[in-house]
Amino acid sequence: MSRIVTVGAAQLGPIQKHHTREEVVQRLIALLQKADKADCDLVVFPELALTTFFPRWFIDNIGEADHWYETAMPSPVTQPLFDEAKKLGIGFCLGYAEITDDGHRYNTQVLVEKDGSIIAKYRKVHIPGHEHHEPDRPFQHAERYYFEPSMEGFGVWRAFGARVGMMICNDRRWPESYREMGLQGVEMILCGYNTPIHYVPDPSQDILQGFHNALVMQSGAYQNGTWVVGVAKAGVEEGVDSLGQSMIVAPSGQIVAQTFTTDDELITARCDLDWCKRYTGTLFDFDKYRRPEVYTRITSQRGAITD
Ligand code: CDT
């Protein structure tokens, strides 16, 4: 008997600075209700799904940014989302900015089961952008100021009858992210993202944003024999145009569903988990074909040595 998880990728349109968390939670609930009509088991929301993408602004006193972060999950404001999901019997994955009791700041996703219990928390490993104010940019990408990189790495958890992993936005561009999970037998990777179309350090990449987005998720899925669910916060947010093109990618690397707007939009797919074995049991039978003894640079060295 095949193992099916029906997943919904719940893309969000922009969240402007003046939008309250209460308003955003109502949008998330509306998407959950659509997902219920489509018989979803699990709904994936974007990175930083409760607020605008605030690292586009720099402020000298980081304490003044505390209001963008969640101190608890769920909280009184997000509890209605947890309640609705539990009532509908749908699990979800939600990205948000987290501040811990001892003041650490992470870019985080939680995975919540159908009964409302939190299965896992993932904190972003690859933090892109810059640490300091760069006044010549049209907008900042100061994630390295607002978030510290997680030292916890990439986990895989049993949930929804599957082996589920998580990553966040820039993580999807790094093959190591997928492989770390592939080596734990991952069958479905959940990834929220906010990707500005304009890449300030090299604008020649702007036109390629959609291509690169698909390229990395399709190859990551194929090379690790896993489903990948990539979900955008899209559209023009505070004047910054961000990529949509949320997608659900099969272990073959094929896109089985993709959004066509930059607004709140749900796409769904019935994901056959046994499809993973067609790849992990053949061409990508890691146990048979991998050569870790010759990959030692991967963990012993960070940058390229060219001399
Ligand atoms: N949120 C996030 O990680 N965005 C990056 C933007 C490019 S780096 C400035 C991404 O990889 O999509």
Residue 49, pLDDT score: 98
193 lines ligand 1 (CB under 6 A): yes
Atom 12 of ligand 1, residue of closest alpha carbon = 195
Phi and psi angles of residue 276, each rounded to the nearest 5 degrees, phi first: -60, -40
Q: How far is the CA of 128 from the centre of ligand 1 (A)?
A: 6
45 lines ligand 1 (CB under 6 A): no
Substitution site in 193, 208, 216 for ligand 1 pocket (most atoms within 8 Å of beta carbon):
193
User: 39 with 274: CB under 8 angstroms?
Assistant: no
Atom 9 of ligand 1, residue of closest alpha carbon = 129
Q: How far is the CA of 106 from the centre of ligand 1 (A)?
A: 15
Report the alpha-carbon distance of residue 142 to residue 140 in Å, rounded.
6
Substitution site in 12, 130, 134, 169 for ligand 1 pocket (most atoms within 8 Å of beta carbon):
169
Residue 307, pLDDT score: 86
13 lines ligand 1 (CB under 6 A): no
Report the alpha-carbon distance of residue 159 to residue 41 in Å, rounded.
11
If we measure between CA atoms, which residue out of 295, 233, 293 comes closest to residue 14?
A: 233
Non-local CB neighbours of 175 within 8 Å, separated by 6+ positions? 219, 220, 223
Residue 1, pLDDT score: 66
CA atoms within 13 A on the CB side of 117: 4
Asked about 124 being catalytic, the answer comes back as yes
Segment (H or E) for 180:
helix 175-182
170 lines ligand 1 (CB under 6 A): yes
Atom 4 of ligand 1, residue of closest alpha carbon = 195
Residue 8, pLDDT score: 99
User: 142 with 166: CB under 8 angstroms?
Assistant: no
Ligand 1 atom with minimal separation from the 200 CA: 9
If we measure between CA atoms, which residue out of 92, 168, 165 comes closest to residue 124?
A: 168
**Which residue of the set 40, 93, 169, 271 is catalytic?**
169
Q: What is the mean pLDDT of each run of 10 residues along the chain (307 residues)?
A: 92 98 98 98 98 98 98 98 98 98 98 97 98 98 98 98 98 98 98 98 98 99 99 98 98 98 98 98 98 97 95
